[in-house]
Structure 1
Amino acid sequence: MSNAEMARQAEFGEGFIAALDQSGGSTPKALRLYGIEESEYSNDDEMFDLIHAMRSRIVMSPAFTGDKVMGAILFEMTMDREIGGKPSARYLWEDRRVVPFLKVDNGLEEAADGVQVMKPMPTLDEVCARAVGHGVFGTKMRSVIGAANAEGVERNVAQQFEIGRQILGHGLVPILEPEVTISIPDKAEAEDMLRSAILAQLEALPDDQRIMLKLTLPEMDNHYKVLIDHPQVMRVVALSGGYSREEANARLARNTGMIASFSRALTEGLSAKQSDAEFDATLAATITSIYEASVAG
């Protein structure tokens, strides 16, 4: 796999990043939305087999190509499995021209100072080394901002950049995801604090190091344009964060240079019970709508 080619696609490729990284905690809900009830599997192994089958069906669908899907974020277990008879990351790049990323966080700590930082990642170096071996281009890790608390926001962002530097040391490009909860009353203020904290951390980042950011769609259009234009930010992508696909697409289209990285909004309307023709048609329409919102700005 050519890292330079993947870097070009990641930075300049049109389209969006598909988030296919539901973890163990969110898998039952993802399967339920896909039309598979918890009564249809009896243990975690069966559950993960079913979610992998769903992800494989999405990735192998005719519309899922690098023309509209710039990249895809994988769950670690997905990276270790095969799609189309190949290791998943290789299939994504070689057969679909979709840049593979890997979710690396271990979930969230309890809330403090209005934020939830990430749990420790004692095996991160080993996971990153395996990801490099699989041909993965970058990583993604999520923390949460639940209030406009300057101290909390700064601590949250500092952790993202600290671990991001560790990931950069493996030659991987980290997507930092300090998610602002969409339902909080002081969302706009939290977004002001977040932008300031990210800019301060970017100042301290060595000039030859570049990151990506995954951020909640902001209250003020183009609020993150200064980050999109920053020379050390390869790309800024948006999470749907609980907005409906229609609302997320509408907000995204108003933010110049921001592209989507949707999970639930991507799988909305897909069902295990659909025929392949119905599934492929539904997914193609979804991909087109998210792609159009991503390139509209």
Structure 2
Amino acid sequence: MNQEQFNRMKNDDGFIAALDQSGGSTPKALKAYGVDEDQYSSEEEMFDLVHEMRSRIITSPSFNKERILGAILFEQTMDREIEGKYTGEYLAEKGIVPFVKVDKGLADEENGAQVMKPMPDLDDLLGRAVERGMFGTKMRSNILEANESGIKAVVDQQFEVGKRIIQSGLVPIIEPEVSIHADDKEEIESILKDEIMNHLNELNEDEHVMLKLTIPTKANFYKELIDHPQVVRVVALSGGYTRRQANDKLKENEGLIASFSRALASDLKADLSDDEFNTSLNDAVEDIFDASVHKTFK
């Protein structure tokens, strides 16, 4: 583990940019960027275009270490280069801590939740992640209902895989997303917090994780998780909220910082000039940074 990056992630102001759309969500990300499916004819061309989009974001002067602590990458982005350097190396030289998404998507819903699909190549991916200079990883599950069995299965799997990631020398971001549309969202969050705390309390002193969670219904509900000694940082996903909605909710939660994807890139378009693109990205970065740092408490 890179101790300087660990200290930065633990203590510095800023947020984490999520640039990790994978194969299934890439067409949607490109379409939002203004690139329709008729503009590419193969998966290879699609990934070339999304790498161009991500490279444009990462190389922008608006994407800087003063406001951005880290960035989560898709596996292909980690393995590709920006200006002759592996993406993680390029980010690290900018002072931005690199992570890589390691999950292979979601299994079918069972007991109101979706665990992660099997990851047979995880050890190989973790080895490459270490070689490419990644600090950590990210993996997502999904919770739709307040079903204790389903929530327990999600958290158990996340921490089981998380321990393998820790053993490889990386810090896992554990992401059991709670649907913002769930009727019993607050009840889900109560069960989820208890399950996460149980696992955190079983970690050794030298085992650390990060958590990526849906912004809770009740402000500061995850404060115990944020303060836990084995937690490096707790970050929030936007979860389908608009940037304004997500930022307003985030501001109510002490110690919680953003890790937004759609809310970060929603105004970025392929046909913008470089000046327009950088200005639009700067506005989004400044908004999200402000929500992550400047809090309003009730």
The aligned counterpart of 1:206 is: 204
Aligned partner of residue 113 in structure 1, secondary structure:
coil
1:55 and 2:54 matched:
yes
Which runs of 5 or more residues in structure 2 are unaligned? none
Whether the 8 Å contact between 1:207 and 1:232 is mirrored in structure 2 is: yes
CA distance in 2, matches of 1:186, 1:75: 31
1:19 and 2:15 matched:
no
Match of 2:96 among 82, 95, 98: 98
The aligned counterpart of 1:123 is: 121
- After superposition, what is the alpha-carbon deviation per residue over 1:95-144, rounded to whole angstroms, capped at 9, x for unaligned? x1100000000001000010000011111111101100111000000000
Letter aligned with residue 122 of structure 1:
P
CA distance in 2, matches of 1:3, 1:63: 25
Whether the 8 Å contact between 1:256 and 1:296 is mirrored in structure 2 is: no
Aligned partner of residue 204 in structure 1, secondary structure:
coil
Aligned partner of residue 256 in structure 1, secondary structure:
coil
Aligned partner of residue 126 in structure 2, secondary structure:
helix
1:216 and 2:250 matched:
no
Show the 5 A alignment for 1:146-295.
146-295=144-293
CA-based RMSD: 0.8
Whether the 8 Å contact between 1:147 and 1:187 is mirrored in structure 2 is: yes
Q: Percent identity?
A: 56
Letter aligned with residue 14 of structure 2:
G
With structure 2 as the length reference, what TM-score do the two structures score? Answer: 0.98
Match of 1:143 among 134, 141, 144: 141
CA distance in 2, matches of 1:85, 1:97: 17
Whether the 8 Å contact between 1:102 and 1:138 is mirrored in structure 2 is: yes
The aligned counterpart of 1:89 is: 88
CA distance in 2, matches of 1:30, 1:107: 16
Letter aligned with residue 18 of structure 1:
A
CA distance in 2, matches of 1:14, 1:85: 29
Give the C-alpha shift of residue 257 in structure 1: 0.2
Whether the 8 Å contact between 1:115 and 1:156 is mirrored in structure 2 is: yes
CA distance in 1, matches of 2:7, 2:277: 31
Aligned partner of residue 201 in structure 2, secondary structure:
helix
The aligned counterpart of 1:29 is: 28
CA distance in 1, matches of 2:87, 2:154: 31
List structure 1 runs of 4+ shifted beyond 3 angstroms: none
Give the C-alpha shift of residue 296 in structure 1: 1.6
Give the C-alpha shift of residue 74 in structure 1: 0.4
Which runs of 5 or more residues in structure 1 are unaligned? none
Give the C-alpha shift of residue 67 in structure 1: 0.8
Give the C-alpha shift of residue 207 in structure 1: 2.2
The aligned counterpart of 1:9 is: 8
CA distance in 2, matches of 1:242, 1:25: 17
